Amino acid sequence: MAKIYRIAKGDGTTTTGTGVVSLATAYRTWVLLATATVAGAAATGVTFSSLDISGYRRFVLEVNMLHNSATAGGYLALYANNDQVDANYHSNAIYCGYGTGVNRESDACSRIIVFNNLTADAVLCDVIIVRGIDGKMHALSKGRSSIPATVEIWDSAVSWSTSANITRLDIVSGVADAIDVGSTFRLWGVL
């Protein structure tokens, strides 16, 4: 299946087309593996399958999520190979902007970002996913969610206890149907 892409350039022009996009950087080549856009109805999760992280140095996941205002606040979790057992993951996070001060949490889970408010908001998050020298998946995320009066900043690290090759990634909301129509998820492979 051909992928459709649009690239905005610094000079104000854009390029559109189909196929695999390669973005060469001074250090690495980024290949757009897939784009998923929620259409029709709100969703609880997004899946990228038929992956093989061993062919890349890392994956980079871009999350541009609209929170469905009909649902409560929640979080997005990252799962590998359809293993959605939180006890098989560990995450550490530091966040601020919700409530007072800076907060920290350490849990048996795979949360990459939390959105605590009950109103519609935008959740932006970049996640770097690597297979470490221990063979296990490690992910670092930096994100933010916002409502008109507050911006939350969220940094987290997630580790998976299994050393299997990553062939599937699931991004799942902790609240049913929290991912609203128009939300976009892009997965890049970095060579």
pLDDT in tens, 48-75: 999 999 889 899 999 998 888 888 777 8
pTM: 0.80
CATH code for the domain of 161 = 2.60.120
Q: Is residue 15 part of a domain?
A: no
How many domains are contained in the chain?
1
Question: Which residue segment(s) compose the domain that 93 sits in?
Answer: 21-190
How does residue 169 score in pLDDT terms, banded at 50, 70 and 90? very high
Q: Is residue 10 part of a domain?
A: no
Question: By the 8 A CB rule, do 59 and 53 touch?
Answer: yes
Q: Is residue 3 part of a domain?
A: no
The two three-digit tokens of residue 117, written as one number: 């408010």
Q: Is residue 45 part of a domain?
A: yes
Least confident segment among 84-88, 116-120, 161-165: 116-120
Pick from 42, 114, 103, 43: which is nearest to 78 by CA?
Answer: 114
How does residue 119 score in pLDDT terms, banded at 50, 70 and 90? low
pLDDT above 90 for 167: yes
Percent of the chain at pLDDT exceeding 70: 77
* CB burial readout 149-167, b (16+ within 10 A) else e: eeebbbebebbbeeeeebe
Q: Is residue 171 part of a domain?
A: yes
Handedness of CA 21, 8, 47, 63 (dihedral sign): positive
Q: Is residue 9 part of a domain?
A: no
Q: Is residue 168 part of a domain?
A: yes
Q: Is residue 157 part of a domain?
A: yes
